[in-house]
Amino acid sequence: DTGVSQDPRHKITKRGQNVTFRCDPISEHNRLYWYRQTLGQGPEFLTYFQNEAQLEKSRLLSDRFSAERPKGSFSTLEIQRTEQGDSAMYLCASSLAGLAVYNEQFFGPGTRLTVL
């Protein structure tokens, strides 16, 4: 299967701990996105990369959040000093963006974070 994969699928942590999530995009895709989805809401954009460059960050991405895509392939999202309000599904998506290509994003299965 060559879809977007995420790891772990579920994470339970205590408030104040740090967590890190990983996303592996579809191999030929140059863009990678992170979203957060809370219960009953649509996904909210957090940040995205084109290759290894982080091109945009939402104001939702507080300074406790950091994302990397070091070699333009997989990406990590780290949350430091987790708070209960961070509990959500974290979705990763990838796309192939270019001048003549529409930017359809394909989503991974998500990482569900629960902060106790």
Partner 1 sequence: ELKVEQNPLFLSMQEGKNYTIYCNYSTTSDRLYWYRQDPGKSLESLFVLLSNGAVKQEGRLMASLDTKARLSTLHITAAVHDLSATYFCAVDSRSTPLVFGKGTRLSVIA
The size of the interface with partner 1 (CB under 8 A), counted in residues, is 21
**Is position 94 an interface residue for partner 1 (rule: CB under 8 A)?**
no
Under 8 Å between Cβ of 23 and 9: no
**Is position 74 an interface residue for partner 1 (rule: CB under 8 A)?**
no
Peptide bond into 8 cis (omega under 30): yes
Binding test (CB under 8 A) with partner 1, winner from 11, 24, 32, 33: 33
Site of tokens 């979203």: 35
**Is position 109 an interface residue for partner 1 (rule: CB under 8 A)?**
yes
Under 8 Å between Cβ of 15 and 82: yes
CA angle 83, 79, 5 (to 5 degrees): 120
Binding test (CB under 8 A) with partner 1, winner from 15, 51, 56, 78: 56
Binding test (CB under 8 A) with partner 1, winner from 75, 108, 113, 115: 108
Q: How far apart are CA 110 and CA 10, in angstroms?
A: 8
CB of 104 to partner 1, least distance (A): 5
**Three-class secondary structure of residue 86 per DSSP:** helix
**Is position 65 an interface residue for partner 1 (rule: CB under 8 A)?**
no
Residues at the interface with partner 1 (CB under 8 A): 33, 40-45, 48, 56, 58, 91, 93, 102-110
